[in-house]
Amino acid sequence: MKQLEREKLEKEKRQRLLIDNLMFTDAPAEEILESHHESQKLLEQEATEKANKKAAMAPARDMASQLGHQTTFMPIPKKVEVLYKYEESIHDSLGPATPSLDDIKHKGYLRHMRSASAADRAGGYESSIGCMKALQSAVEGLFLSLPKSSSPVISNSPSIESSEEMDISP
């Protein structure tokens, strides 16, 4: 259907071109008609060559289908994957347990916290979250015990003994 429409449009275009050439060029009409006929013959030859190429390719496709050679694709293997499952993280603070959020809200811990502004609450912040963070930081590592063989403080700065040996006179 589209090919027929294209052919009609091309034919009309060639006719308009012929009429324009006859009306607006100074060349003799016989030469214009002759060149028009030659160009039409070339177009027809190209069309027959294309049709011959398609016809030559068709038997090869038909032969392959007659011999049973069909293009089939293997199915894509399906992977069965486990969906994400939330597991609460276990955090050993090496200190006493911090109170729960309910305890923080109901036992007066929030009296010492700045109340959250409207902008803070819009961002998801609550005073109880800040209080929980402060309490966790305070008790983190309170029960930490180092082995007796290791030194508790490791520093790259000179110690007091070494500064006495240094000459610091003005």
Each residue of 71-128: pLDDT tens digit?
Answer: 677 888 888 888 888 898 887 888 888 898 899 999 999 998 888 999 999 999 999 9
**pLDDT band at residue 58, thresholds of 50, 70 and 90?**
low
Q: Rounded distance, CA 144 to CA 150, Å? A: 13
Query: Could you give the 3-state DSSP secondary structure of residue 34?
Result: helix
**Average pLDDT in the chain:** 79
**pLDDT band at residue 60, thresholds of 50, 70 and 90?**
low
Q: In 3D, which of 110, 89, 113, 91 has the Cα closest to residue 101?
A: 110
41 or 165, which is more confident? 41
Render pLDDT for 153-169 as a digit per residue (tens, 0 to 9). Answer: 555 545 444 444 444 44
Mean pLDDT value across residues 38-61: 78
User: 166: which residues sit within 8 A by CB, 6+ positions away?
Assistant: 158
Q: In 3D, which of 143, 136, 91, 141 has the Cα closest to residue 109?
A: 136
The answer, as to whether pTM is greater than 0.85, is no
Sign of CA dihedral 62, 64, 68, 73: negative
